Amino acid sequence: MKDYGFIFREDKELSKKAKVISELTKDITEYIFESLKLDIKDKDKEKKYKVAYHSACSMQHGQKIHSQPVSLLEKTNNEIMEIPEGHICCGSAGTYNILQSKIAKQLLKKKVNNIESLNPDFISTGNIGCITQIAHGTKVPILHTIEVLDWYTGGPKPEILK
């Protein structure tokens, strides 16, 4: 949706509407980063977690969003670790894991090896496809970034971490 302005730039009927849609479109972490002051609750009594952040292709390559979710996660005072070769896909890529399953499995194996090399307590990412894909390759718990932020702003501890 962020590319609608570009995609429809030569369409006399849609170009203006598409531009407006592109300008309004934001990922939730982008919106929170720009618009809200998070009230991070005191979690000092709890363990400091090692969190491996997986930057989904749809976010880092498509929407050009990477630093905002990382900055938000850093506010939790956990150790946020960037995954080696984090720019490489986990193999999900929408329907890629179905249509190109052999290559998707190879990408997943490489991604999981890179994640597990960090020995994280859990993984955070902002894409449900990546969550599903990566969860098939590792026993390391994986959470949506918003689940982590919800927990650290007063919501319940995610079930997967209990």
Domains of the chain, by residue range, sit at: 37-161
pLDDT tens for the 162 residues of the chain, in order: 888 888 999 999 999 999 999 888 888 999 999 998 888 876 655 679 999 999 988 888 878 888 999 999 999 999 999 999 999 898 887 777 788 889 889 999 999 999 999 999 999 999 999 999 999 999 999 999 999 999 999 999 999 998
Phi, psi of 54 (to 5 degrees): -100, 115
Scored b (16 or more CB within 10 A) or e, 19-46 reads eebbeeebbebbebbeeeeeeeeeeeee
Residues 106 and 67: their CA atoms lie apart, in Å, by 27
Q: Does domain 37-161 have CATH number 3.90.79.10?
A: no
**CA nearest to 121, candidates 85, 80, 88:** 80
Give whole-number Cα distances, 53 to 8, 50, 76, 102, in Å.
33, 10, 13, 25
Q: What is the pLDDT of residue 43?
A: 61
Strand order in the sheet with 50-54: 79-82, 50-54, 122-125, 142-144
Cβ atoms within 10 Å, residue 106: 12
- Sorted by sequence, the CB contacts under 8 Å of residue 96 that are 6+ apart come out as 89, 103, 104
